[in-house]
């Protein structure tokens, strides 16, 4: 009887310990779950997996099942047709965390005058105007080219939703040359001479007029006839110099207009 009691007591002490050990083995460890962290530029984007909405960026979860996790990131208003989206997939491993940073592009409407300009971003051709283009959210430089027009680079600032590029025809570009270089209409020597004469004669006219005014003040005090003659002579010479100035300026303007 004593042996039976001792055996039963021994088994009663072992069974709880064994049951506790089995229970610990049967519980799912934390390492069976995987973590995912999604940030974005701009923040506040909506995240979907299949057709289920799971949250907005920045998003973080530590209780996802291991395996391939596919998701889509969309703008704050996915109902707008011009709201771009981005699809991605990650491999989740139990006990680990995967981080993904999403940069959502933007739709930009690009037009040109005249239409039909080819738009390039680096080595990539985006299309011909008028067009919509998916561009990075940062400021970018695009190249517009069209037969018969000069190529044009233009900057599309960050946040801009539309841009209009004005192309310059090749023939019109030739007329924009500086006439003072002599590139259009011949030598620039007549322009230089006319401008110089206008400056010198204008200064001389002002000087002679000042002398005439000073001598007239002297005449009013002295009443000397010789002083009055000198006043008249200075006035005549000042008028002649002023006429030369006006003629030189007129020639300068006409020469510019004729080029």
* pLDDT tens digit sequence for 133-179: 888 888 889 999 999 999 999 888 887 788 888 898 887 655 555 55
| Rounded Cα–Cα distance for residues 90 and 197 (Å) | 80
* Burial degree of 36 (CB within 10 A; 0-12, 13-18, 19+): buried
pLDDT tens digits for range 90-132: 999 988 999 999 888 888 889 999 999 999 998 889 999 999 8
Quick check: 220 pLDDT over 70?
yes
More confident position, 257 or 206: 206
pLDDT at residue number 21: 36
Are 109 and 161 in contact by the 8 Å Cβ rule? The answer is yes
3-state secondary structure of 196: helix
Long-range contacts of 111-117 (CB under 8 A, 24+ apart): 111/162, 111/163, 111/164, 111/165, 112/144, 112/146, 112/164, 112/165, 112/166, 112/167, 113/164, 113/165, 113/166, 113/167, 114/146, 114/149, 114/167, 116/146, 117/144, 117/145, 117/146, 117/149, 117/165, 117/167
Are 134 and 84 in contact by the 8 Å Cβ rule? The answer is yes
Quick check: 232 pLDDT over 90?
no
Average pLDDT, integer, range 38-65: 88
3-state secondary structure of 185: coil
* Model pTM score: 0.43
Task: For the chain, give the mean pLDDT.
Answer: 78
pLDDT band at 28 (very low <50, low <70, confident <90, very high): very low
């Amino acid at each position: 009887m004593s042996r039976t009691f001792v055996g039963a007591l021994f088994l009663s002490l072992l069974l709880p310990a064994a049951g506790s050990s089995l229970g610990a083995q049967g519980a799912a460890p934390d390492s069976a779950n995987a973590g995912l962290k999604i940030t974005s530029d701009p923040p506040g984007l909506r995240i979907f997996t299949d057709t289920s909405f799971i949250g907005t960026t920045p998003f973080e979860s530590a209780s996802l099942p291991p395996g391939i996790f596919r998701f889509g990131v969309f703008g704050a208003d996915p109902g707008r047709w011009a709201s771009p989206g981005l699809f991605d997939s990650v491999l989740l491993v139990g006990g680990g965390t995967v981080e993904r940073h999403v940069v959502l592009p933007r739709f930009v409407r690009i037009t040109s005058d005249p239409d039909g300009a080819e738009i390039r971003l680096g080595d990539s051709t985006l299309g011909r105007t008028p067009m919509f283009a998916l561009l990075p959210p940062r400021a970018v430089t695009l190249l517009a080219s069209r037969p018969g027009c000069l190529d044009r680079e233009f900057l599309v600032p960050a946040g801009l939703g539309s841009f209009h590029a004005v192309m310059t025809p090749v023939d019109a570009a030739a007329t924009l040359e500086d006439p003072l270089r002599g590139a259009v209409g011949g030598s620039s020597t007549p322009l230089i001479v006319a401008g110089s004469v206008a400056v010198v004669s204008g200064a001389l006219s002002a000087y002679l007029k000042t002398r005439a005014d000073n001598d007239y003040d002297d005449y009013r005090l002295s009443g000397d006839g010789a002083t009055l003659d000198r006043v008249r002579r200075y006035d005549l010479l000042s008028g002649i110099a002023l006429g030369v100035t006006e003629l030189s300026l007129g020639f300068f303007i006409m020469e510019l207009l004729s080029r």
